[in-house]
Amino acid sequence: MDMKKVREIAKERGVKIPFGAKKVDAIRMIQRAEGNFDCFGRAHDGYCDQEGCLWRDDCLTVTQPL
């Protein structure tokens, strides 16, 4: 998902993303605003049990091993 789409989702949810924010940070801001864990990009060993998460596919591609 590109940053433009992330900003659209943020706007729909009333989340203000600062200019220059990184995609990871923007998505985590949205997650927190929704009352969810801000876990984007933090899947351990590529494992995530959140099958219904909007961000899951992108998350698993940016997750760094510990």
- Evaluate whether 64 touches 41 at the Cβ level (below 8 Å): yes
pLDDT at 33 over 90: yes
pLDDT in tens, 4-23: 999 999 999 999 999 999 99
pLDDT grade for 48, boundaries at 50, 70 and 90: confident
Spatial separation of the C-alpha atoms in residues 27 and 3, rounded to whole Å = 9
The tokens 């949205």 sit on which residue? 30
pLDDT at 24 over 60: yes
Averaged pLDDT of the chain: 91
Domain-wise residue ranges, the chain? 3-62
Give the global pTM: 0.87
Structure tokens at 26: 């923007």
